[in-house]
Amino acid sequence: MRTILYIFIGGGFGSVMRFLISNYTEKLFNIKSFPFGTFTVNILGCFIIGVASAYFLKVDNYLKFLLITGFCGGFTTFSTFSAENYSLWQNGNYFTLAFYILSSVILGLFAVFAGFQMIKP
């Protein structure tokens, strides 16, 4: 139960931080042709999950659920996607790595398109 609580708290905090940082970045750059807010959050999330994962390989405690699963999960799922791809690359799973990247991007784009089409009047 403690694990679920840590994930819950971290996820909520990550989601709020994503909103605040994304909005601030969009206002700061004020360029409509590139999603600087999402880009900033995703890259920052990748950095955070990299640091947290590296740290928690050495130290195993409940804070990994707060920071990695909770915070990074709420902050951005792109960080998890990138960390998983890094793991595949480290383990030499190059075919799976390529398939995962391509299928995630292509299917993700298709899912957005399909969602728009379903709602479209």
pTM for the structure as a whole: 0.78
pLDDT tens digit sequence for 59-98: 778 899 999 999 999 998 788 889 899 999 999 999 999 9
Predicted local confidence at residue 44, as pLDDT: 93
Q: Is 73 annotated as a binding residue?
A: yes
The answer on whether 25 is annotated among ligand-binding residues is: no
8-state DSSP, 119: H
pLDDT score of 57 more than 80 = no
**What are φ and ψ of residue 120, in 5° steps?**
-60, 130
For the chain, domain boundaries: 2-76
CB count within 10 Å of CB 8 equals 14
pLDDT at res. 97: 93
